[in-house]
Amino acid sequence: MPFKLQRLLLLGGPVLFLLGLLVTPALDDLRGRPLRQTLVLLLLPVLLSALAAKPLRLRLANALALLWAAPLLVFAGAGPVLATLVLCLAAIALGGRIAPARAAPLQLALGLVLLAGAVGWLLPLPVHHAAAYWPALLALLAWRWRPVLASLQQLHAGWRDAVDAAPRSAAWAVASVGLLSTAAWLPTLAYDDLAYHLALPAQLEQLGYYRLDVRSQSWALAPWSPDVLHAIVQVMAGAEGRGALNMAWVLLVAAGGFQATQAIGGDRAAAFATVALAASVPMMAWLVGGMQVELPAAALGLVLAAVLATRAAGAADGGPVASRDLPALAVLAGGLVATKASLVLMLFPLGLWWLWLVRARLPWRALPGGAMLAVFAGGSSYAYAVAIAGNPLLPLFNDWFPNDYAAGRMIDSRWLAGLSWDIPWRMAFESPRYDEGFAGSAGFLLVLLAGPWLLALLRPGPARTLAWVSLVAGLLPLLFIQYARYVLPAMLLGLPALVATCRSLGGVRAGTALLALAWGANVAFFANGSWIWRTGAPLQAFQPREAARQALWLEYAPERAWGPLLRGQADARLLVLSPSPAVAEFGGRAFSPSRYDPALQEAATHAAGSAEAWRRLLLDHGFTHVSLREAGDPAVAAALAQLGARREAVSGEAQLWRLPPDPGARDLMRERDVAARWRASVLAR
């Protein structure tokens, strides 16, 4: 390629970036205080590690890794970190049976998927206790401790060699992952987590089983693999373990991206650049600070792509495309479908890639076994959804699968901005149209690296296939809904191709400079990916832990304070009346009149403005407690006064009221417990 054309491709992205800053109000969202927080959390650890590295005879990357591990242990909690560590070691032991003598990250991904799959099938049974999980995982580890030790030794040797080969790039990557890890310090505050994702972990911790209560939460039977893993950690630790487990997923994203970059011809410096750029995407802070599934989706997708890219490289060198990869690929495919149904759209181009690789000899005999592994790993939520509601995709596509629990297609109209040719640019600079973040939350990789992206798609070479797979995987969900978070796994999937191509344009230095510019733009807007992170919550974490958590609860999720108060009250039935239906953490004992509970929402709508109607609703449903905000319906307060309720606690704007006991009251929790009814019907036969 002519040198001038290479320069043009390199400069095209920066020109588009500057144009975006000039013609959009993106800079209005670049606030001084969040930017200072980002710089302090990024640069101070680098300075401290640089000072300590020489006397300790450590590489800067290793010193940074040790320094960043300390606050994670403190703020995520020693119990959750230990539980996550044991879970991951047991996963490597199990995954090693599927992929022996393979890299530890692949074994870890396989093991996590298989463990989540096994527990997913057992969710309705009252067997989910720490006394069961700890012995089971430790037994797995004891059974295969030698292969696990060998995998860890191989991982350590690979890390040491990579850091020695590219020490500055390694430090860059670790510093970026460290900055991202600050989101794991925070308590769970996101709307969807408090309304839905925490429910499965909370019920397994408090009840020992999952209620399958689709009437109280219409998403209760949606693919649940990531939440099952959160539940395992929470049950083992006796406390929420979101932050620790999410960092395990981040490390899998890093490992998958690193291996995929090397598989398509990138050197170790390029592989570390992939890690740094992936960690710098502002939206990643939202994923690490919450329980949304795009983080594990990105990890599994990159690990799967690394397997395919490695096999493609072997085929190009004259080696066979081994059918022995089929079990691992089947498990990873099942894991993606168990994470989110729409990830079948990402599996489509990945599956075509695999078919192309095995086109000369399709392993027909191995396909039934692979299909069984995929169903075991990813089929539990779909099976229960069919058994209970007749809709495997509940609460979506109810027009295709009519049922008594939900209606319509449940498409969020907020994210129907329309698909246009310049949507990568618009997602970067007009992010609030495409997700809940501020300007720049989707990152600027596809803008600043537009030239390398175009070249990766057109130039023959090992990066082209991965670039096209990423493009198709990102375009397919955009055809249905224009939501940036759904595209993130596909964008990270193509990042190795972008990095490898960029470093081949105009020389390594010029390409690296462009990658550094893309990273710097992301870091400048890093706080815009998460409103929680943007408010200064990471620095608040340095207060005494309980005080910091209570302060965040009071400001952003005051109803979370009721969890410790009601935890030991088995007969408590809480009605939450707030803008956020924060009921998930109460183990099935809390309800909210929201779109997730249509029956209760309809009853609350009819009661609005009438104290007498609210009094009847509270009595008819058997609620023992009511949580309401000061700015709520005055009729609710009047109804509570008529019933002689007393205020038990105040948390910020929220108040907790206790109603007088009614021995003959209806028990909504028992009525809606599908799992308990199933068990009772089986025992009655």
pLDDT tens figures, 446-465: 999 999 999 999 999 889 99
Instruction: Examine residue 489 and say whether the peptide bond preceding it is cis (omega within 30 degrees of 0).
Output: no
Let me know whether 515 and 646 are in one domain: no
- The number of beta carbons lying within 10 Å of the beta carbon of residue 139 is 12
Let me know whether 288 and 371 are in one domain: yes
The pLDDT, as a whole number, for residue 321 is 52
Closest by CA position to 412, among listed 264, 266, 250, 219: 219
The pLDDT, as a whole number, for residue 545 is 65
Tokens, residue 230:
């959160």
Question: How far lies 461's CA from each of 314, 359, 457, 469, in Å?
Answer: 14, 19, 10, 14
Let me know whether 184 and 307 are in one domain: yes
The pLDDT, as a whole number, for residue 603 is 96
The pLDDT, as a whole number, for residue 261 is 98
Let me know whether 571 and 451 are in one domain: no
Q: How many domains does the chain have?
A: 2
Q: How confident is the model at residue 488 (pLDDT cuts 50, 70, 90)?
A: very high
Q: Is the residue at 550 inside a domain?
A: no
- The residue among 487, 503, 538 that closes a domain is 538
Mean pLDDT of 247-263: 98
Question: Per mean pLDDT, which range of 161-170, 306-315, 473-482 is the poorest?
Answer: 306-315
The pLDDT, as a whole number, for residue 399 is 84
Q: Is the pLDDT of residue 317 over 60?
A: no
The amino acid occupying position 346 is: M
Q: How confident is the model at residue 59 (pLDDT cuts 50, 70, 90)?
A: very high
Let me know whether 641 and 511 are in one domain: no
Choice between 79 and 543, residue whose per-residue pLDDT is larger: 79
Q: How confident is the model at residue 318 (pLDDT cuts 50, 70, 90)?
A: very low
Question: Per mean pLDDT, which range of 48-57, 96-105, 157-166, 319-328 is the poorest?
Answer: 319-328
Q: CB–CB of 386/441 below 8 Å?
A: no
The pLDDT, as a whole number, for residue 361 is 84
The pLDDT, as a whole number, for residue 542 is 80
Q: Is the pLDDT of residue 315 over 70?
A: no
Let me know whether 370 and 336 are in one domain: yes
94-119 tens-digit pLDDT: 999 999 989 999 999 999 999 999 99
Q: Is the residue at 625 inside a domain?
A: yes
Choice between 548 and 271, residue whose per-residue pLDDT is larger: 271
Q: How confident is the model at residue 3 (pLDDT cuts 50, 70, 90)?
A: low
The DSSP bridge pattern shows strands 646-651 and 590-591 to be unpaired
Mean pLDDT of 314-340: 81
Q: Is the residue at 388 inside a domain?
A: no
371-424 tens-digit pLDDT: 999 999 999 999 999 999 999 999 998 888 888 888 776 777 788 888 999 999
Q: Is the pLDDT of residue 611 over 80?
A: yes
User: Whole-angstrom distance between the N-terminal and C-terminal Cα of the chain?
Assistant: 75
Q: Is the residue at 501 inside a domain?
A: yes
Q: Is the residue at 445 inside a domain?
A: yes
The DSSP bridge pattern shows strands 574-577 and 646-651 to be unpaired
C-alpha–C-alpha distance, residues 169 and 162, integer Å? 10
DSSP 382-435: HHHHHHHHS-TTTTS-TTTS--SS--S----GGG-----TTHHHHHHHSGGGTS
- The number of beta carbons lying within 10 Å of the beta carbon of residue 621 is 18
- The mean predicted confidence, pLDDT, of the chain is 93
Q: Is the residue at 384 inside a domain?
A: no
Per the structure, the complete domain to which residue 650 belongs is given by 557-675
The pLDDT, as a whole number, for residue 322 is 54
Mean pLDDT of 655-662: 93
Let me know whether 434 and 570 are in one domain: no
C-alpha–C-alpha distance, residues 475 and 582, integer Å? 33
Q: How confident is the model at residue 1 (pLDDT cuts 50, 70, 90)?
A: low
Share of the chain above pLDDT 90, in %: 82
Enclosing H/E stretch for 661: none
500-539 tens-digit pLDDT: 999 988 778 889 999 999 999 999 999 999 999 999 889 8
Let me know whether 193 and 297 are in one domain: yes
Let me know whether 651 and 586 are in one domain: yes
Let me know whether 182 and 144 are in one domain: yes
Choice between 413 and 18, residue whose per-residue pLDDT is larger: 18
Q: Is the residue at 547 inside a domain?
A: no
- The residue among 538, 566, 588 that closes a domain is 538
Let me know whether 575 and 472 are in one domain: no
Q: Is the residue at 169 inside a domain?
A: yes
Let me know whether 75 and 165 are in one domain: yes
- The residue among 504, 538, 572 that closes a domain is 538
The burial class, CB within 10 Å (0-12 / 13-18 / 19+), for 545 is middle
